[in-house]
Structures are given as structure tokens and as C-alpha cells.
Amino acid sequence: MSVSNKLGDLASKVYENVLLEEVKKYPRPRHIGIITDGNRRYARNVGISENEGHVKGKDKVEEVVDWCMELDIKIVTFYAFSTENFRRSKDEIDFLFNLINDAFRSLLKDERVYKNKINVKVIGNLSILPAYLRQTIHVVEETTKNFNNYQLNLAIGYGGREEILDAIKRITKDAMAGKLDIDKLDENKFREYLYDGRIPDPDLILRTSGEERISNFLLWQSAYSELYFSDVYWPEFSKLDFLRAIYSYQRRQRRFGR
């Protein structure tokens, strides 16, 4: 590594530490939603296979969870596999499901989960996932169901429009069966019919790779979320990039119509 590169890395690290201390002075978001975009483009850019890019993306999720805990951000929801992702090739989908399955199995052995009392929850239409993955998800959720210090949510087989449509279908069935007075349906009651109505709305939604859209992610829940878009691909998303997103959030005034 050249002297100039070493100096550049040192300057970045100093800036990261300064920004970290600045961010710690102000309230942080309670819940962050993250659209992890750019694994394949990153892979093509650096000359590795797309599958290797997905592995790098999985590793980045673990890093970001650590950064959230360092800032005592209690809830983080990752958009891991959307309903639209089923349009990809069978080989890629199979690889991704096995990668996700292996990641969940690793969580069961990860001391950070038990030490920090991390509750792990999957949101999405689980019926469209492979049986082996559904079983692993069940084991992880059951193992961590009584943990309540941090919440790690993975949106898998998830689509925001599908979530709302599924909620409407369940509401209709309950109303027709006399279990729900439709005149008493309000936002709070509707939330109970979402995939997990206990999850509070995200304060901040962050997306990597330079795309500026939320792509069917938490459509109901994101009505008042702050949005932040980062130009870097997900596997190269750095702690400094993360701190910049939090700092940007802290500089905004959230009026909620007031």
C-alpha cells in the first residue's frame, strides 16, 4: 500500500471516530429499515461471481447489526429477498435460499445473539419459501422469541403490496365470519393484520447502490419514514457511510404534519 493510500485510510478513520462521537450526542432512530441493494453489480465491478457478491452482502448484514448495537439502535429490518426476486434464475434463487438458511443456522451458534438478547423475526409470505428454510426460520424464531433487547427483522419472500393485500383478505374473512366490526377498523386495528403488527414504523429507511426508490418495502409502515440513499453498493457500505446516514437523519425535523 502506498503512503498516500495509508494517509487516506488514516484520515477516513479519524473522520469516522469524530462522526461517531458526534452522532452519539443526539437521539438515534429507534428502527432502521435497510434495502440491501447492489450485490450483483458490486460483484461484476470487482470481477468476482455474483454468488460471491451475495456472500459479501450477507457478511455486511452482520457488520451493520454490530454498528446498530454500538449506537443502541434497537430495531433493524433488512430487505433480504423480495417477491420480485423470484423472477431471477432458479440457480441464483437456490443459492440465495441456501445462503440465507446457512446464515440462520449460524445465528443459532452466534454468542452475540444470546449476549445481546437479539430477537430474530422473519416477515413475509413464508408459504412460498422452501420447506427446509421455513423449518430453520421456525427454530431461530422459537429460540430467540423471549429475547427483547434488540430486534433483527429479515424481510424474506416479502412485498409491501402483497402484505397489504394479504391483510385485506384476512380482514374480509374476519368481517364475514363476524369476528370483526368493520366500522371499528382503524389504523391500529389494520396494523394487527400485517405480517407482524408489533414492529413499529421505521424512523429511517436506507438504500444502497444509488437507486432512489423503496421498491415495495414496508409500504404501509414507511408513510412517515425519513429516506436516505447511499451511492455505494451494499457489500462496500462502510461504517462511515452508515454514520453519515444517521447523522443526516439527526439533522432533519420530523413534523408529522404539524
Question: Which residues are annotated as catalytic?
Answer: 37, 85
All three cell numbers of 5, joined, read 493510500
CA 5/CA 53 separation, integer angstroms: 25
The residue whose grid cell reads 487516506 is 8
Instruction: Please list, residue by residue across 189-204, b when 16 or more beta carbons sit within 10 angstroms of its beta carbon and e when fewer do.
Output: eebebbbeeebebbbb
H or E element in which residue 78 lies? strand 75-82
Q: Measure the CA dihedral 82/83/85/88, to 10°.
A: 170
∠ CA(55), CA(60), CA(64), 5° rounding? 155
All three cell numbers of 170, joined, read 384476512
In angstroms, the first-to-last Cα distance of the chain is: 53
Torsions phi, psi of 125, nearest 5?
-90, 90
CA 199/CA 205 separation, integer angstroms: 14
Strand partners, 151: 75, 119
